[in-house]
Amino acid sequence: MPPADRLAAEVCDVVVVGGGIGGLTAAALLAKAGLQVELLEAHHQSGGCAGTFRRGPYTFDVGATQVAGLESGGIHARLFAHLGVDPPAASPLDPGCSVLLAGETTPIQLWRDPQRWALERQRHFPGSERFWQFCGSLHAANWAFNRRDPILPPRNAWDLATMLGALGPAPLASGLLVGATVLDLLRLAGCAGDQRLRRFLDLQLRLYSQQPADHTAALYGATVLAMAQEPLGLWHLHGSMQTLSAALEQGLARAGGRLRLRHRVERLVPPGQHPTQGTWRVEGQCHGTTPFQIAARDVICTAPVQALPALLGESLPLGYRRRLAGFDDPSGALVFYGAIDRDRLPAEHPLHLQLEWGDPGPLFVSISAEEDGHAPAGQATVIASVFTPARPWFEHGEDTYQERKRAAQAGIEAGLVQLLDLAPKSFRHSELSTPRGFLRWTGRPFGFVGGLGQTPGRFGPFGLASRSPLTGLWLCGDSIFPGEGTAGVSQSAHMACRQLLARRGFSLSLAG
Ligand SMILES: Cc1cc2nc3c(=O)[nH]c(=O)nc-3n(C[C@H](O)[C@H](O)[C@H](O)COP(=O)(O)OP(=O)(O)OC[C@H]3O[C@@H](n4cnc5c(N)ncnc54)[C@H](O)[C@@H]3O)c2cc1C
């Protein structure tokens, strides 16, 4: 084996593992705070689940297709203002999504205007307004708490003081519902028996929490159900999802941080376990062939927590290892990437749709806008994703795998034909990625996506902390509060950076 390259001549302040949105955010914030930062990304480009890939004339978003947090005061907007970088160009989505339940022809439109959305839901779900009012009050309290940048869950006195500082009277009241599910809210409102409402809620909640209404934490669900409306809202980026990573990369570079692509981290060795005492040693392979190592005072790991046992080996405390082993598997995803002539699509269509569909499961569909950088003029990309249990995709030989893959793709295409009223064989291009593809693309064990399911026992105070049990190792990404989504992982990155900097005697505060 060739000798390992020492990447940094001296010890750097921080190594960030993984250049998805979480890692880019953390690295840019710490570089801006004046630390010497090395961001190591295994892939040939940044972005991770919010990245893109090219096929001929098409640019496909790998996973994420819409963005929250770009509104004034939202986490992405605050971040870009702090970094002194223009946010990516984006348009608000209205409706945020158009949801079609099985066997129906009239979709439920998640309008951006709260009044219009209230009328829409009253029309579709008469008698449910008390439920929506409960959700609205909980969401308002959550949001007030969130805007004060709490640390959750707290692991030391500084964390606790910061969390208590973010509490106000309303969040304290909503804290009484910390053990409740969305189904409990439905019961309180007297509409738990409305099966059509339950089906709609299950579709919405699974997208973010991986759980249906009877398992999703009420505090989390209340906010998920308010995501599409002002003053929050969802955004469509002009020029593909990669523009979000590109803007963060710009912030990192401007602050003097360094992004090293094709650097896969294989081992994290804590201080005291190697000759360079007092620092972490980060070891890995660059370009797949050349070993490297780098010493750092702190490490931020953005890979999903299921990757920690392999990265830390025996250094991972037994109690923590057992806790990780006790978690249910996160989901995997099947994602269909298609390209189509625009004249084959309905004349008027929203950019994001959901279809309650049986096989392989409910579809979340994103259609590119004209000239938004995804497809040549007159054509569109159509992306449809479905959650799937991840491990079974690794359990069979190649023939069975290919057979399952073909069946899943046929199932998704059949759903798209119905949803978009397409003639058969309308796609100019079509392919499917499975958890195997996500493992290759993002290094996520078993291609898991979406973090931990947001049940009452895993959400907020009961979830995994960004302060790990090992001094100098910090965690962020979708396994950490507040969970998945580009806005969620940027928020967890911000939280980890504040803790890291506080330990060094500095503070970090984003305006807005
Ligand atoms: C199908 C799908 C649809 C989605 N839709 C949306 C959506 O519309 N809107 C939304 O906001 N969110 C959406 N999400 C969720 C969102 O994409 C993720 O929550 C978020 O992008 C995760 O960011 P991250 O930085 O935590 O992790 P990742 O994106 O997984 O990034 C981690 C990075 O670390 C790198 N890495 C991993 N291991 C190593 C290692 N050992 N060494 C070096 N590098 C390593 C990976 O290559 C990767 O680039 C979707 C996700 C999926 C899968």
Dihedral over alpha carbons 489, 234, 92, 80 (to 10 degrees): -10
Confirm whether 159 is domain-assigned. yes
User: For residue 297, what is the enclosing H or E element?
Assistant: strand 290-301
In the prediction, which pLDDT does 5 show?
57
Same domain, 141 and 172: yes
Same domain, 410 and 494: no
Question: Of ligand 1's atoms, which has the minimum distance to the CA of residue 23?
Answer: 25
Instruction: List pocket residues of ligand 1, CB cut-off 6 Å.
Output: 17-23, 40-43, 48-50, 63-68, 264-265, 302-303, 333, 335, 385, 442-444, 449, 477-478, 484-486, 489
Confirm whether 61 is domain-assigned. no
Ligand 1 centroid from CA 438, angstroms: 9
Mean pLDDT computed over 156-170: 88
CA-wise closest residue to 334 among 421, 392, 380, 417: 392
In the prediction, which pLDDT does 196 show?
98
Percentage of residues in the chain having pLDDT higher than 90: 88
Question: CA 306 to CA 321: how far, in whole Å?
Answer: 9
Confirm whether 158 is domain-assigned. yes
Same domain, 244 and 213: no
Confirm whether 393 is domain-assigned. yes
Report which protein residue has its CA nearest ligand 1's atom 18.
485
Write the pLDDT tens digit of every residue in 432-449.
Answer: 999 999 999 999 999 999
Mean pLDDT computed over 454-474: 94
pLDDT band for 1, please (50, 70, 90 cuts): very low
Write the pLDDT tens digit of every residue in 399-422.
Answer: 999 999 999 999 999 999 999 999
Write the pLDDT tens digit of every residue in 377-389.
Answer: 999 999 999 999 9
Confirm whether 96 is domain-assigned. no
Same domain, 279 and 247: yes
In the prediction, which pLDDT does 171 show?
64
Phi first, then psi: what are they for 355, rounded to 5°? Answer: -130, 125
Same domain, 196 and 288: no
pTM of the shown model: 0.96
pLDDT over threshold 80, residue 8: no
Same domain, 166 and 192: yes
Last residue of a domain, one of 447, 462, 489: 447
Same domain, 401 and 354: yes
pLDDT over threshold 90, residue 15: yes
Confirm whether 322 is domain-assigned. no
Same domain, 438 and 486: no
Same domain, 359 and 430: yes
Same domain, 343 and 386: yes
Last residue of a domain, one of 163, 192, 227: 227
Give the CATH number for residue 311.
Answer: 3.50.50.60
Confirm whether 100 is domain-assigned. no
Q: How many domains does the chain have?
A: 3
Ligand 1 centroid from CA 165, angstroms: 31
- Determine if the peptide bond prior to 271 is cis (ω within 30°): no
DSSP 342-405: GGGS-SS--SEEEE---SS--EEEEEPPTTSSSS-TTEEEEEEEEEEESGGGGSS-HHHHHHHH
Report which protein residue has its CA nearest ligand 1's atom 51.
63
Same domain, 336 and 443: yes
Same domain, 376 and 421: yes
pLDDT over threshold 50, residue 457: yes
Confirm whether 235 is domain-assigned. no
Question: CA 376 to CA 327: how far, in whole Å?
Answer: 44
Q: Give residue 420's domain range.
A: 331-447
Ligand 1 centroid from CA 94, angstroms: 25
Residue 233 zone, left/alpha/beta (φ > 0; ψ -120 to 50; rest): left
Ligand 1 centroid from CA 453, angstroms: 16
Last residue of a domain, one of 198, 227, 256: 227
